[in-house]
Amino acid sequence: MSVQSLLEALSFPYHEPRHGFWGEKTSTLNFCEEDYVMSYYCAEVCNTLTNALFVWLGYKGIRACIKYSHPLIFPVTFAGYLVVGLGSTFFHASLKYPMQLVDELAMIYTTCFMCFSTFSYGRSTAFSSCLGVGLVSLAWFITTRYYQTKDPQFHQDAYAVLTAIVVLSNMWIMERTLRPALKNREESRRKAARTPTGPTTNEMIKQMWVMVATGLSIFLGGYLIWNLDNMYCSTIRKWRHQLQLPWAIVLEGHAWWHLMTGLGAYYYIIWRVWIHRCLDGDEDKFRLYWPSILSIPEVIPIDDTPEKKGQ
């Protein structure tokens, strides 16, 4: 039996689009995955299940922040990230407008948490309080305007601007503030004739840049796939029906967006945790543990790295 014959023998067709368990759609958005064609109980199965990555990485991040006593803003940020995943799960399963708002507004709030962690570092209590009030006011403005207009482009633009501000600001901080600070501490250790206990400044900054480039590539790649999914939806739907299930799920572009933006967003939260630890002077106590590009990065105490445990 040929490979093609085997694949055809293991394939089965989609159900015709229909009304499902959750009733009439009330969301203002719908995606290229056809409704209720895989399950009567779930409107968009692939778009629903791929949010499991957000839930898993959100839980992983919260647990690590508590275990390693990372600053409070980071478990709060990971909690927001997890809520994005839960909101998106219920949104794509039901196509109900309240769940759409949970999904989309949690994206805005989580990015505002990242703004706070970025711009409040090393500042006075008064400045941090004003920043917090300003970000809450901004989040409220975005919420009310989006609720009134129901304009998805406004939401996407607001999210893109906030994310760009966080990413570009941390790039600036990494090069203009963190690199000189690490260099100075490295030079002080050299003058004190202390044996180096970890990577050099250049090695640490290079690792961060590689992680930033990887996270951005994954994130933007997912955005590209989602846009192609929207632009060529009718053609892609034809291809899916020709391939049939289960093979056709690889053509679910919005599901790939979930997986890739979930990874990309997790990378940039971890990046900020590591910048924060290094600005605190904790590079002798913690490591950005990322042994390969295929692994999930995390900031952990040096004593918890496999190298130390194996000694």
H/E stretch holding 301 reads strand 298-301
**pLDDT above 90: percentage of residues in the chain:** 74
| Sequence letter at residue 17 | P
Cis status, amide bond into 297, omega within 30 of 0? no
Query: What distance lies between CA 263 and its chain's CA centroid?
Result: 5
In the predicted model, is pLDDT for residue 229 greater than 60? yes
Write down how long the chain is: 311
In the predicted model, is pLDDT for residue 307 greater than 80? no
What are 10-37's pLDDT values in tens digits? 666 777 878 889 989 999 888 888 889 8
In the predicted model, is pLDDT for residue 97 greater than 70? yes
**Three-class DSSP category at 304:** helix
Q: What's the mean pLDDT when you consider all of the chain?
A: 91
Place of tokens 């390969």: 292
Tokens of 180: 């000189």
Please, what is the end-to-end C-alpha distance for the chain in angstroms? 53
pTM for this structure? 0.92
**7, 37, 255 from 12: Cα distances, Å:** 10, 12, 20
What are 232-269's pLDDT values in tens digits? 999 999 999 888 888 888 999 999 999 999 999 999 99
> Rounded to 5 degrees, what are φ and ψ at 51?
-75, -10
Q: Which residues touch 254 (CB under 8 Å, ≥6 apart)? A: 31, 32, 33, 44, 46, 47, 226, 229
pLDDT tier for residue 308 given thresholds of 50, 70 and 90:
low
What are 168-221's pLDDT values in tens digits? 999 999 999 999 999 998 888 887 766 656 788 999 999 999 999 999 999 999
C-alpha span between 39 and 53 (Å, rounded) = 21
Tokens of 230: 């929207």
Overall average pLDDT of the 143-161 stretch: 93
